[in-house]
Structure 1
Amino acid sequence: MDLKAHIRGIPDFPKPGILFYDISTLLRHGPAWKEAMRRLAEIVRPYRPTVLAGIESRGFLVAAPLALELGLGFVMLRKRGKLPGAIIGLNYALEYGTDRIEMQADAVRPGDRVVVLDDLLATGGTLAACINLLRQAGAEVPGAASLIELTFLKGRDRLGGTAFDALIAYDD
C-alpha cells in the first residue's frame, strides 16, 4: 500500500512558503492507518523497547496506538507547562529562539529502553532534545521513528547517532 498517497500537502500553512504534510487523511483511512502502524511496529520491535514516547501532539497519535499494539507503556513528551506533578525538562535552541520539552519526573526509570515517535522529522531539534531529556532521566534510547521525514532538512544528522527510520520520505 502506498502510504504517501494518504498524506495531503497543504501549501502556505502555517505561513506562506511552507508546505504542510497533513496526516489527518492517513488517520481517516482505516486500512492505511492500520498498515502504517503495522510497518512502524516492524521498525520499532527490534529495538526491544520497554516503553514508547510520543512528542506533543501529533506524536501522541503515532506512539499511543503503537504502544498498545506492542503491549508497551506510553510516555508523553510535552511543551512547557502542560503536565501535572513533578516534571523534568530541557531547553533547546530553535532557529529563532528557544523552546522547552518536559515529561513527568517518574515517566521513565533508569534502564528503560525508550523509542521516541513523532509524526514528522524536519530539522530534528525537538527530537534531539527529547532523546537528550530521556537519557538525562536514565533511559536508554536505542532508536526513534516517524511517519514522515523531510530528508532535505537533514534532521537525522542532529540525532547524535541515534538510529532513525521513517515510513515516508519527501526529498524536496
Structure 2
Amino acid sequence: MTDPRILAVKELIELCPDFPKPGILFQNIFPVLRNPSVFKGLIDVLAEDIRAKYPAVEVIVGLDSRGFLFGPMIAQELNVAFVPVRKKGKLPGETHRVEYSLEYGKDSCEIQKNSLQPGQKVVIVDDLLATGGTMKAACDLMEAAKVEVLACLVVIELKVLKGKDQIKYPLLSYIE
C-alpha cells in the first residue's frame, strides 16, 4: 500500500506535454514545493526510508539541480552532511569530474575534491530518473571519490525509459 504522503505528492505533480521540446512529457514537481505540508510529508518519507534501510549513511549527495531541492532537507532530517554534484565549471577549487553522454552530445559533472572522504557512505538524491545517464555519471563520480554508494533515490522513476538498468546500486523510487 502506498504511503498517503506519496499519494499527496503524486496528485500535485503537473504533467507538461511537449516541454522542454516536442514529444517530452515533463513531470513538474514544483507544485509540491508550493504546498508546505505535502513537501514536508515527502521529505519525511524519504528521510524515514533512508534511516530504516541505510542507517549508516553519512552524506546525502544531491544532483544539479532539482536534487538540491530535496537533498539538503533530507540531510537536515538525518543530521548528516549534504554535498552537491554540479555541472562543469560551477564549483571552486579542485574537483573530481566525470563526463557522460546525453541524447545529443556530452556533458560533465563535478564535486569538490575536499567535500567527501574516501570510505564515506552516501545516498545520491535526485527528483527523477529517466534514461539514467545523469545518475550513472553521479555514481561514477562517487567511485572516483572512493566513497561507498549505499543507494540512489529519486522521487519519480520513468520506468519505460529503463534508466534503472544504468544503475548498479539499489534504487529507491516512489512514483512511477
**TM class by smaller structure:** over 0.9
Q: Percent identity?
A: 44
Q: Does 1:27 align with 2:33?
A: yes
Given that 1:7 and 1:26 are in contact with CA atoms closer than 8 Å, whether structure 2 keeps it comes out as yes
Residues matched between the structures, number: 168
Q: What is the match of residue 78 of structure 1?
A: 86
> Out of 67, 70, 89, which is 1:59 matched to?
67
* Alpha-carbon distance in 1 for matches of 2:92, 2:17: 36
- TM-score using structure 1 length: 0.95
Query: CA deviation digits over 1:102-150, x for unaligned, max 9?
Result: 0101111011001000010000011011011111111000101011110
Given that 1:36 and 1:167 are in contact with CA atoms closer than 8 Å, whether structure 2 keeps it comes out as no
Cα RMSD after superposing both structures: 0.9
* Alpha-carbon distance in 1 for matches of 2:102, 2:84: 21
> Out of 1, 24, 35, which is 1:18 matched to?
24
* Alpha-carbon distance in 1 for matches of 2:48, 2:140: 24
The AA in structure 1 aligned to 2:149 is V
* Alpha-carbon distance in 2 for matches of 1:17, 1:138: 39
Taking CA–CA contacts closer than 8 Å with sequence separation of 6 or more, which of the two structures ends up with the larger relative contact order?
A: 1
> Out of 25, 30, 49, which is 1:43 matched to?
49
Structure 1: where are the runs of 5+ without partners? Answer: none
Where do 4+ consecutive residues of structure 1 move more than 2 Å?
A: none
Q: Does 1:143 align with 2:147?
A: no
Given that 1:39 and 1:167 are in contact with CA atoms closer than 8 Å, whether structure 2 keeps it comes out as no
Structure 2: where are the runs of 5+ without partners? Answer: none
Q: Does 1:131 align with 2:139?
A: yes
* Cα deviation, residue 39, structure 1: 1.1
- TM-score using structure 2 length: 0.93
* Alpha-carbon distance in 1 for matches of 2:68, 2:75: 10
Q: Does 1:118 align with 2:126?
A: yes
